[in-house]
Structure 1
Amino acid sequence: MMYDDDSILSISGIQHFVFCRRQWALIHIEQLWAENMFTVSGEIMHKNAHDNSFSETRNGIVISRGMQVVSYEAGIYGVCDVVEFIPADDGAVIYGKEGKYSIIPVEYKHGEPKETDEDILQAAAQAICLENMFCTRINELDIFYGKTKHRLRVEFTNEIRNRLNEILDEMHSLYKRKYTPKVKQSKKCRACSLRDLCIPKLTKIKSVNKYMQDMSEE
């Protein structure tokens, strides 16, 4: 199956989706957004990583920042913080460069490693796009955590691929239906930037936009 431009989804949405299906729908379906200290610090780190989109070569390794990627097969698009192209005997061919390269996407996070897998899945989605774009196979993912100043390397296993496919299938299904899931309040709500817009107590209301519109009319 190939997705068209109107149905491809943002890779950044995977982070929202795994954290909370409702949060993802509010942002990516109902187009609501609000900032908090976590979103602002994250945006600063990503801005520094992208650094106006440029590439450089260090010790033979080509480093690209702010690379735009897309996969119409998976129906996702986004921007990679950093992509490293490492000389290898077997790998991808890069336009304008001699030889072949293995590819490693590097995702930047302002916090520390999580018990949940949203960071890994986001890096994996970038890898899927890069695989499709460069007709290659990616075996490793890197995640740099700003709080610990540590770079975590993750093997890109079939288990991660299958988990990502399940998440993307669910995201596409909800997006196609334009459905905002109902959720119960939990501890995660306290850290959510959309807490005041979500109104989780009003789960019987399908659309938060509709609720806010009705309130403004009153």
Structure 2
Amino acid sequence: MQNDYIAIASLNQYSYCPHRCWRMSCAGEFVDNQYTIEGTSLHERVHTLDSGQREEIWQVRAIWLKSEKYGLIGKSDLVEESQGCWYPVEYKRGHKGEFDNDELQVAAQALCLEDMTGKTVSKGYVYYAQSHQRQEVKITAQLREEAIATIQSVTTLLETGKMPLPIYSPRCQGCSFYSQCLPQVGTKINRYQEAN
């Protein structure tokens, strides 16, 4: 049995940016911006512990998911059960982006649900508050492998504490750490190291 569990959300953070994950998980830093405040507000509304029936779907909000097999733990936004099948639903403030980090978080929740229920989870959803749309996430073999590989990467990051250099990309523009990590500097350092 593993005593130190990885937060499910850290897979999302690592997939989005390993440097961001290091700042949050290893350095214990957090910086708010417009997007993090909106996300916190959304999750405060969603995380009102509740359960109930909606048509033929049983729903429970804000329950803890845990997998001893994968060493994961985290609070779910919503878990649904219909006809013996379980589905995680992750809430996000914006709209579907071009990155797959939200899907990776849903896959990690699915791994936990499978460990907890003994049943295969074939899909989950991301609900985007800005568009009021659910996006189905198929829990494919490839997505499972990606989630497991990311668990390993986060585990290594936490064990070594080694800071990945920030690498500039379009996703940096919305990051709350943008002015702290100076990603253009990291990119320049990488180019310099590669040249020498």
TM-score where L is the length of structure 2: 0.89
Paired letter, 2:152: D
Residue 138 of structure 1: SS of its match in structure 2? coil
1:109 is the counterpart of 2:106: no
Alignment of 1:16-55 (within 5 A): 16-51=13-48, 53-55=49-51
CA shift, 1:60, in A, is 3.5
**Alpha-carbon deviations, 1:141-161, whole Å to 9, x = none?**
111111111111122110110
In 1, Cα distance between equivalents of 2:91 and 2:24: 21
After superposition, residues 5-20 of structure 1 pair within 5 angstroms as 6=4, 8-20=5-17
Matched residue type, 1:112 = H
Deviations 1:102-124 (A, max 9, x none): 10111111111122111101011
182-191 or 57-66, larger mean C-alpha shift = 182-191
Do the aligned residues in 1 keep the contact of 2:166 with 2:186 (CA within 8 Å)? no
Q: Distance in 1 between matches of 2:20 and 2:162?
A: 12
Structure 1 residue 73 displacement after superposition = 1.2
Aligned with residue 72 of structure 1, among 52, 68, 80: 68
Please give the alpha-carbon distance, in whole angstroms, between the structure 2 residues aligned to 1:10 and 1:152: 23
Runs of 4+ in structure 1 over 6 Å off: none
The Cα shift of 1:65 comes to 0.3
Deviation sequence 1:10-36 (CA, Å, 0-9, x none): 111122111110010011001011100
Runs of 5+ unmatched residues, structure 2:
188-196
State the 1:129 CA deviation.
Answer: 0.6
- Which structure has the larger Rg? 1
Q: Would you say 1:139 and 2:138 are equivalent positions?
A: no
User: How far apart are 1:199 and its partner, in Å?
Assistant: 4.2
Aligned residues of 1:22 and 1:183 also touching (Cα < 8 A):
yes
- Matched residue, 2:164: 181
Aligned partner of 1:85 among 78, 81, 85: 81
Deviations along 1:68-116, one digit per CA (max 9) or x if unpaired, are: 1111211111011010111x2xxxxxxxxxxxx2101111111111221
User: 1:165 corresponds to which residue?
Assistant: 148
The match for 1:150 is: 133
Task: Mark the runs of 5 or more structure 1 residues left unpaired by the alignment.
Answer: 89-100, 204-218
Equivalents in 2 of 1:79, 1:11: separation in Å? Answer: 8
Question: For 2:139 and 2:107, how far apart are their aligned partners in 1?
Answer: 7
8 Å CA contact 2:166–2:181 kept in 1: the answer is no
Distance 1:159 1:39 in 2: 29
* Aligned mates of 2:138, 2:19 — CA distance in 1: 30
3-state SS of 1:12 partner = helix
Higher helix share: 2
Give, in whole Å, the separation in 2 of the partners of 1:175 and 1:82: 28
Identity, in percent, stands at 28
Structure 1 range deviating more: 181-190 or 194-203: 194-203
In the alignment, the residues of structure 2 paired with residue 148 and residue 140 of structure 1 have an alpha-carbon distance, to the nearest angstrom, of: 20
Looking at structure 1, the residues matched to 116 and 170 of structure 2 have their Cα atoms a distance apart, in angstroms, of 39
Q: RMSD across aligned C-alpha pairs, in angstroms?
A: 1.9
